[in-house]
Amino acid sequence: MTQLIRLTREFTFEMAHVLEGYDGPCRNVHGHSYRLYVTVKGFPVSDSLNPKLGMVIDFGDLKKVVMEKIINVFDHSVAVSRNYAGKNMELLSRAFGNMVVVDYQPTCENLVADFAARIAGSLPEGVILHSLRLYETAKSYAEWFAEDNS
């Protein structure tokens, strides 16, 4: 009996960002310890000759995708909008060795949507990105669900 199964893996990374034009303290460069929960769904492999028998995806394979697309890019970086970076590129380049320039205001909400796009296209056939939950602080997070964005 084959049933649709969801799997979740947690990832952590450190990142700074700056919110240009924001009316609070986050308008200054500051950092967070992010926690990202990636949930995928699919049907477990039923081919008894397949070494992944019974798995939707090997957790190690999911880790490889998220490490390549998210963690290796954003960990210990400072994320800035292209608009902000354009005004301050030389100064920022000297101050921060690992700067990620994005086409949006790097809020938790926009980051989780960007991460979904980066991950979804890199999953193996038959494995679907179901949701992401990105904690910016211990008590605050943004969520993305595929069903809301199809």
pLDDT in tens, 110-149: 999 999 999 999 999 999 999 999 999 999 999 999 999 9
pLDDT in tens, 49-59: 999 999 999 99
- Round to the nearest angstrom and report the end-to-end CA distance of the chain: 28
8 A C-beta contact, residue 3 and residue 127: no
The span from the CA of 122 to the CA of 106, in Å, is 22
Question: Which CATH number applies to 5-148?
Answer: 3.30.479.10
pLDDT in tens, 55-87: 999 999 999 999 999 999 999 999 999 888 677
The span from the CA of 136 to the CA of 123, in Å, is 24
Which pTM value belongs to this model?
0.93
Spell out the domain ranges in the chain. 5-148
